[in-house]
């Protein structure tokens, strides 16, 4: 039986999980593959650190170059993260004609165009299922399973930390800061949670999903990104009363003059499946012109789920490595010469319905001023709710739901509302998506 040798860059949570699967599930893998897989070498930070998995027979090194230059390694698995050294190492691996498997969403989103080109130049593959949504095989589903469709839109809960926070904020008395602290204590959020709660992590993943869905080049720097740190318990409560859940979604869709790529808090009707995805779980919806809306659900992080995706990519790489390059599944789902350099439209060009919350002086005529500004901006109001403000007895909390309107008009209206002496504090705006 042929042996394929693998080298790992990094042996943290996912690296350990990958070694564990390749050690303890090898007989099942051999049944599927007709070949065996051997971990030949692993680059680690500290050679003396105790390991959670057995590394007997595996060479450990603290020199990352040993892995990408190893003469017997067929596949380099990058699990170290970052976009500096990791990029340099993968460039070396590709030039050495080694296939690459990576879980590094930032690297693919920011440098994937050049890395895929380098892989094609050297006749090797890059596989990256674990870079998006952990153990959910969403890359394969969209790239291959939906290949007979023109994808209309993709929407996903693709960061478990943010989803956990918004789920916990539904509990009485919870607020953002309090729940974030608990998430950090549980290990769901980093000490610096910026990448998760401000949407950067999700934007990396959405960039990849959009490229696969629409056949466009990776364009992370044009993805609109907005976090959840301004969501309040009142917003959660109002959403519930109005029949919605607030989710931190990545949404990519076709637009009149290109494509829209955006990550932001989103109100989703409760009867939509993705609205009921809670805790640290991930889910991705994609609508094809023939199949309609589909959803892919599961754990988005962790040793087992993410390592499962890594090993699946290793198996796929072995299956396809002997095929002519033109017969392999393209890295982004479309032939390289067919990837469009299509424009990503400004967030001001998108059209959705909106939830607007503000604090207004509880005086006669104020509501008329507010609704007058909305009408003058060409915005139709579907629902208005007013109640006493708990923070300031002189104010009322005013909530409005609009009909579908271009964001530029909402921005115009909010700017005018901000200029009213009768409006206190920051005006909250949350986009609404029906996902039908």
pLDDT of residue 208: 98
pLDDT of residue 57: 93
pLDDT of residue 393: 77
pLDDT of residue 322: 80
> What are the phi and psi torsion angles at 253 (to 5°)?
-150, 160
Q: Could you tell me how many residues make up the chain? A: 436
pLDDT tens digit sequence for 366-393: 888 999 999 999 999 999 999 888 777 7
Domain parsing of the chain, residue ranges? 3-136+303-338, 142-299, 350-432
The set of catalytic residues is: 205
| Residues 30, 32, 38: CA angle, nearest 5 degrees | 35
| Strand pairing report for 99-102 and 126-127 | parallel
DSSP string across 278-299: -TTEEEEEEEETTTEEEEEEEE
Rounded CA-CA distance 323/311 in Å is: 20
pLDDT of residue 310: 97
pLDDT of residue 390: 78
Right CATH for 3-136+303-338 from 3.40.50.300, 3.90.870.10, 3.40.30.10, 3.40.50.720: 3.40.50.720
Q: Label residue 322 exposed, middle or buried (CB < 10 Å: 0-12, 13-18, 19+).
A: exposed
Rounded CA-CA distance 157/231 in Å is: 16
CATH number of 350-432: 3.30.70.260
CB-based contacts of 153, cutoff 8 Å, min separation 6: 213, 251, 252, 253, 254, 286, 287
**Are residues 263 and 253 in contact, defined by beta-carbon separation less than 8 angstroms?**
no
pLDDT of residue 257: 87
pLDDT of residue 425: 86
**Are residues 242 and 432 in contact, defined by beta-carbon separation less than 8 angstroms?**
no
Kindly report each contact of residues 111-117 with a partner whose C-beta sits within 8 Å and lies 24 or more positions away, as own/partner: 111/83, 111/87, 112/208, 112/211, 112/218, 112/331, 112/332, 113/217, 113/218, 115/87, 115/90, 115/91, 116/331, 116/332, 116/336, 117/336
pLDDT of residue 347: 96
pLDDT of residue 391: 77
Low-confidence ranges of the chain (pLDDT < 50): none
Name the CATH superfamily housing domain 142-299: Dihydrodipicolinate Reductase; domain 2 (3.30.360.10)
Strand partners, 386: 398
Rounded CA-CA distance 271/274 in Å is: 9
**Distances in Å between the alpha carbon of 121 and those of 67, 112, 214, 325?**
21, 14, 23, 10
**Are residues 27 and 59 in contact, defined by beta-carbon separation less than 8 angstroms?**
no
Rounded CA-CA distance 79/100 in Å is: 11
**Are residues 37 and 326 in contact, defined by beta-carbon separation less than 8 angstroms?**
no
pTM of the model: 0.95
């Amino acid at each position: 039986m042929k042996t394929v040798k693998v080298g790992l860059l990094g042996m943290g949570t996912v690296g350990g999980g990958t070694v564990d699967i390749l050690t303890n599930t090898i007989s099942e893998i051999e049944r599927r593959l007709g070949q065996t897989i051997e971990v030949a070498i692993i680059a680690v930070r500290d050679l003396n650190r105790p390991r959670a998995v057995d590394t007997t027979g595996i060479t450990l090194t603290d020199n990352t170059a040993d892995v990408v230059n190893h003469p017997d390694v067929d596949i380099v698995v990058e699990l170290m993260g970052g976009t500096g050294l990791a990029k340099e190492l993968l460039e070396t691996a590709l030039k050495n004609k080694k296939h690459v498997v990576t879980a590094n969403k930032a690297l693919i989103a920011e440098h994937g165009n050049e890395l895929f080109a380098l892989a094609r130049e050297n006749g090797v593959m890059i596989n990256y299922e674990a870079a998006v949504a952990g153990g959910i095989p969403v890359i394969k589903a969209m790239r291959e399973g939906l290949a007979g469709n023109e994808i209309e839109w993709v929407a996903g809960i693709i960061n478990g930390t943010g989803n956990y926070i918004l789920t916990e904020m539904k509990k009485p008395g919870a607020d953002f800061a309090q729940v974030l602290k608990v998430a950090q204590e549980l290990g769901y959020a980093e000490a610096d949670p910026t990448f998760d709660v401000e949407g950067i992590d999700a934007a990396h993943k959405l960039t990849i999903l959009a490229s696969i869905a629409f056949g466009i080049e990776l364009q992370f720097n044009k993805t609109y990104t907005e976090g959840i740190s301004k969501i309040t318990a009142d917003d959660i409560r109002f959403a519930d009363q109005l029949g919605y859940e607030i989710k931190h979604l990545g949404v990519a869709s076709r637009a009149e003059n290109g494509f829209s790529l955006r990550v932001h808090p989103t109100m989703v009707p409760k009867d939509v499946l993705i609205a009921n995805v809670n805790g640290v779980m991930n889910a991705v919806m994609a609508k094809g012109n023939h199949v309609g809306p589909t959803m892919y659900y599961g754990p988005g992080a962790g040793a087992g789920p993410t390592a499962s995706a890594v090993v699946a990519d290793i198996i796929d790489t072995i299956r396809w490595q002997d095929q002519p390059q033109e017969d392999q599944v393209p890295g982004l789902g479309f032939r390289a010469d067919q990837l469009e350099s299509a424009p990503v439209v400004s967030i001001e060009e998108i059209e959705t319905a909106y939830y607007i919350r503000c604090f207004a002086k509880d005086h006669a005529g104020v509501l008329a001023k507010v609704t007058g500004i909305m009408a003058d901006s060409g915005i139709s109001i579907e629902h208005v709710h007013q109640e006493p403000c708990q923070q300031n007895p002189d104010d009322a909390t005013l909530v409005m739901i609009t009909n579908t309107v271009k964001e530029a008009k909402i921005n115009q209206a909010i700017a005018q509302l901000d200029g009213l002496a009768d409006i206190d504090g920051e005006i909250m705006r949350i986009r609404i998506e029906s996902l039908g």
